[in-house]
């Protein structure tokens, strides 16, 4: 019997993490996630990893999760036209920090193969060579040790504080209103509608 899940075609997703502190250099990670592999573009370098290789590096995996959180729509690639040439990219929140964290929704042009839509790409048939992977992780480790001063978990907290403030306020007001309604109904249930006579 054919499994229901085997009938569903895996959808390729694209996500981006843009990071800049003060006046330092900006860094941009793009993750193109296929079913069995993920293509990572960082600092104009591209590497293809298996899912297991991605997950086995906790720091890189946190960056991947951040990219998913900060990307507006992982199943949609945006485009712009410059000098009659189309360039592809993705819209995501950029994380900027000077005196305080700022999340700025912007179009991020792909640094590599900007004239190709990655959602139309075929699944890779193999991961990059060991040599290429080692070279990639050497660059990534250097970035993480020297530039990633703010931990990904703190960036997630900053994002939730920034984006969820309105929702949190709504629920606080909702809870306060519900508590008031519950108290009033308890009083009415205990003493009847004409509470003034009891007092």
Domain edges within the chain? 4-150, 160-198
Task: Indicate whether 4 pLDDT > 50.
Answer: no
Residue 105 structure tokens: 């929704």
Q: How far apart are CA 109 and CA 114, in angstroms?
A: 7
Q: pLDDT tens, 29-88?
A: 999 999 999 999 987 788 999 999 999 999 999 999 999 999 988 888 888 887 788 888
Q: At 177, is the pLDDT very low, low, confident or very high (cuts 50, 70, 90)?
A: low
CA distances from 92 to 26, 64, 100, 107 (A): 15, 13, 19, 7
> In 10 A of CB 80, how many CB atoms?
12
Pinpoint the alpha helices (H) of the chain.
Answer: 51-55, 58-70, 130-146, 152-191, 195-198
DSSP 121-134: SPPPSSPPPHHHHH
- Phi then psi for residue 47, to 5 deg, are -145, 150
pTM for the predicted model, two decimal places: 0.74
Whether the CA torsion 104, 64, 117, 139 is positive or negative: it is positive
Strand partners, 102: 96
More confident call, 16 vs 160: 16
Q: pLDDT tens, 123-176?
A: 889 999 999 999 999 999 998 888 887 888 888 888 888 777 666 677 677 677
More confident call, 188 vs 103: 103
């Amino acid at each position: 019997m054919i499994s229901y899940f085997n009938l569903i075609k895996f959808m390729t997703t694209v996500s981006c993490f843009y990071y800049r502190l003060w006046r330092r250099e900006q860094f941009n990670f793009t993750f193109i996630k296929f079913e069995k592999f993920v293509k990572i573009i960082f600092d104009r370098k591209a590497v293809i990893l298996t899912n297991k290789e991605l997950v086995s590096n906790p720091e890189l995996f946190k960056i991947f999760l951040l990219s998913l959180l900060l990307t507006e729509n992982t199943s949609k690639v945006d485009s712009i036209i410059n000098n009659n040439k189309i360039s592809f990219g993705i819209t995501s929140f950029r994380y900027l920090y000077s005196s305080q964290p700022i999340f700025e929704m912007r179009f991020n042009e792909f640094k590599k193969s900007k004239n190709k839509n990655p959602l139309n790409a075929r699944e890779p048939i193999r991961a990059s060579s060991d040599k290429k992977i080692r070279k990639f992780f050497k660059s990534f480790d250097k970035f993480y040790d020297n530039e990633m001063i703010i931990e990904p978990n703190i960036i997630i907290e900053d994002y939730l504080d920034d984006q969820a403030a309105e929702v949190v306020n709504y629920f606080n007001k909702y809870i306060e209103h519900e508590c008031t309604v519950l108290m009033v109904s308890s009083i009415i249930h205990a003493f009847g509608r004409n509470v003034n006579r009891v007092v």
